[in-house]
Amino acid sequence: MGSYLVRRAIWTIVTIWAILTVTYFIAYLVPSDPARLIAGQHASAATLASIRRALGLYHPLWYRYLVYANQFIHGNLGYDFIMRRTVSGMVLQAAPYTFYLAVVAVAFELLIGIPIGIIAAVKRYSFVDNFLRFLSILGISMPTYWVGSMLLLLVGFKLGWLPLGGVSAPGVILPALSVGITGSAFYARILRSSTLETMRLDYVRTARAKGAGEALILFRHTIRNSLIPVVTYLGLDLGALLGGLIVTETIFNWSGLGFLLNTALGQDDGALIMGVTLFSASAIVIMNFVVDIIYAFLDPRVSYS
């Protein structure tokens, strides 16, 4: 167990390092001149040169990469000369909003996906099962941002039940629901097949043989076990979840990381694009690590070899 933990931790660090490196060299391709951004269009060549020297831009690429990596280790994502703020400051301000939205969105995914998966499994191979299967496939076929736009139009605007955007307690419902509707399909399908698998196991048959009612068998014996793959998928799904959040935050003016990224894209702000990407990707890798560790504690069958 201990060695498994250590190996997973080392691997997590290697992955984050790889992401840092790739991100840095991709972002380096952007022809941007921070000196120009600081001094403005009419600065003299001498002024620009002195600013560049002050920023260390005359150092070779590998040296600047090491400087950036060193800053990153210390939690510093650099300075954004367009927004005139530190990247870390903006990212850390936005992150809690994205986290909040993500938690509610996952809750909606499970709230919608779990009942559908169970019903489909109980009514397997029937019309209801086929219909739910079609609904699930339709769910993953709709763009999250379009579902969001439709909710905004119908529930927010036409019915006027919920706010059209901005950060507030009721304002979280529509964006989270957009992600929940499209994301729930995977959970429904995973739960359906794992429930079907569990239903065939011996201990379920034993329970039935002892005369336990079908409802009791389902909720007490079957579902508990068939929920395990759902937990696994929860960890794997974080990347896709983030993708959904990015576009949804844009629609609902939810000032999280996606909104920040969209702002950065709008003004070609390389430093900020890179900062948000790096932060989000690292966060996902770390959360995957945490999920793995929790999973290893919960399920002693996980192989540590």
Partner 1 sequence: MSLPLADRPNTPSDFAEEKIRTPLETAVRRFLKNRLAVFGLVLVIFMVVIAIIAPAIAPMSPYTSYPNGTTMQGLPLNPTWQWHHFFLGTDSSGRDEISQLLYGTTVSMQVGFMATAITLVIGVVIGLVSGYLGGMWDNIIMRVTDIFLAFPLFLFVILLRSVVTHPTVATVYTVIGVLGWAGIARITRGQTLAARKLEYVESARAVGARVPSILFKHIFPNIMGPVVVYGTLLIANNILLESALSFLSIGVPDPTVSWGKMINLGLSWYQTDPWLIVWPGIAIALATLGFNLLGDGLSDALNPRANQ
The residue ranges that bind partner 1 (CB under 8 A) are: 11, 14-15, 18-19, 22-23, 26-27, 29-31, 130, 133-134, 137-138, 140-146, 149-150, 152-153, 157, 193, 196, 238-240, 242-243, 246-247, 250-251, 261-262, 265-266, 268, 270, 273-274, 277, 280-281, 284-285, 288
Query: Is the CB of 156 or the CB of 217 nearer to partner 1?
Result: 156
188-194-197 Cα angle (round to 5): 140
Sign of CA dihedral 164, 169, 175, 177: negative
Q: Which is nearer to partner 1, 93 or 253 (CB)?
A: 253
Least separation in angstroms between residue 15's CB and partner 1 is 5
Considering only CA atoms, give the Rg of the chain.
24
Nearest distance from residue 26's CB to partner 1, in Å? 6
Residue 31 or 211: which CB sits closer to partner 1?
31
Helices (H), 123-256: 127-141, 144-151, 173-199, 202-209, 214-216, 223-226, 228-236, 238-251
* H-run or E-run covering 279: helix 270-298
Q: Measured in whole angstroms, how far is the alpha carbon of residue 210 from the centre of its chain?
A: 44
* Nearer to partner 1 (CB atom), residue 52 or residue 124: 124
Instruction: Give the nearest distance from C-beta 302 to partner 1 in angstroms.
Output: 17
| CB-nearer residue toward partner 1: 140 or 201 | 140
The least distance separating partner 1 from the CB of residue 153, rounded to whole angstroms, comes to: 5
User: Is the CB of 47 or the CB of 149 nearer to partner 1?
Assistant: 149
Q: For partner 1, which is the closer residue by CB, 138 or 231?
A: 138
Smallest separation (angstroms) from partner 1 to the CB of 213: 25
284's tokens: 């996902």
Tell me the three state secondary structure of residue 89: helix
Measured in whole angstroms, how far is the alpha carbon of residue 276 from the centre of its chain?
Answer: 13
CB of 143 to partner 1, least distance (A): 5
Asked if residue 174 lies in contact with residue 151, where contact means CB atoms within 8 angstroms, the answer is: yes
Two structure tokens written together for 84: 């005139």
Least CB distance from residue 11 to partner 1, whole Å?
A: 8
Smallest distance, partner 1 to C-beta of residue 89, A:
20
C-beta of 118 vs 152, nearer to partner 1: 152
- Give the phi and the psi of residue 168 in degrees, each rounded to 5: -160, 170
Quick count: other Cβ atoms within 10 Å of Cβ 17? 14
* 79 bridge partner residues: 86
H or E element in which residue 54 lies: helix 45-55
